[in-house]
C-alpha cells in the first residue's frame, strides 16, 4: 500500500513520461485564472476580530459599475453588514473583508487563522497578584477619564 505522503502530482506528456507538478504551481495557476472578488458571506462587523486585519485599500467602481457599487455600499451601510470575500492579489489567493465607509467601500486584507499567533502562548503576567487598593486606584483613574471625556 502506498501512503499519501509518498504520492506526487504529475502530468503525462507522452506515454510513460511525466512532469511532476508541485502544489504551489497548481495554486498559482488557479490564482491566475481568477481575478475577481468573490463574496462568500455577509456578516455583522462585530463578528470580525480586528487582529485579523492586515492592510486596507479604497475600492472604486470600474467604468460602468457605478450603480452596483452604489447599491452594495448603501445596502451594507443600512444593514450594518460586511462582506467576507476571496480575491487574487499578486498571484496569491487572499481572504478579504469589504465594508461600507462614508458612502464608499474599503477592502481589508485579512490574515488567515493559521497566520495569527495563539494568544494563549503569550505570557501576560498571570502570576502577578495585585493588591485590592491598586485595582481600586486603576478603576478610579478610569472613571475620572471617562467622566472628563463627557
Give per-residue pLDDT as tens, 33-79.
555 788 999 999 999 999 999 999 999 998 999 999 999 999 999 99
Domain residue limits, the chain: 37-122
Which cell is 107 given? 477592502
**Interatomic CA distance for residues 39 and 55, integer angstroms:** 18
For 57-121, the DSSP string reads EEE-PPTT-HHHHHHHHHHHHHHTEEEEEEEEETTEEEEEEEEEETTEEEEEEE--GGGSPPGGG
pLDDT above 90: residue 26: no
- How much is the pLDDT for 105? 97
- How much is the pLDDT for 145? 64
Domain with residues 37-122, CATH architecture: Beta Barrel (2.40)
Q: 87-132 pLDDT, tens per residue?
A: 887 778 889 999 999 999 999 999 999 999 888 888 888 888 888 8
- How much is the pLDDT for 31? 52
> What is the model's pTM?
0.63
Amino acid at each position: 500500500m502506498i501512503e499519501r505522503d509518498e504520492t506526487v502530482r504529475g502530468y503525462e506528456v507522452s506515454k510513460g513520461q511525466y512532469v511532476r507538478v508541485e502544489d504551489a504551481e497548481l495554486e498559482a495557476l488557479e490564482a491566475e485564472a481568477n481575478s475577481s472578488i468573490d463574496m462568500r458571506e455577509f456578516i455583522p462587523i462585530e463578528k470580525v476580530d480586528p487582529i485579523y486585519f492586515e492592510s486596507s485599500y479604497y475600492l472604486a467602481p470600474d467604468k460602468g459599475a457605478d450603480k452596483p457599487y452604489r447599491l452594495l455600499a448603501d445596502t451594507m451601510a443600512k444593514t450594518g453588514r460586511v462582506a467576507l470575500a476571496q480575491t487574487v492579489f499578486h498571484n496569491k489567493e487572499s481572504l478579504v473583508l469589504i465594508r461600507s465607509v462614508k458612502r464608499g467601500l474599503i477592502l481589508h486584507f485579512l490574515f488567515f487563522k493559521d497566520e495569527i499567533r495563539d494568544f494563549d502562548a503569550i505570557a501576560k503576567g498571570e502570576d502577578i497578584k495585585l493588591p485590592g487598593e491598586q485595582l481600586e486606584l486603576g478603576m478610579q483613574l478610569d472613571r475620572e477619564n471617562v467622566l472628563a471625556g463627557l
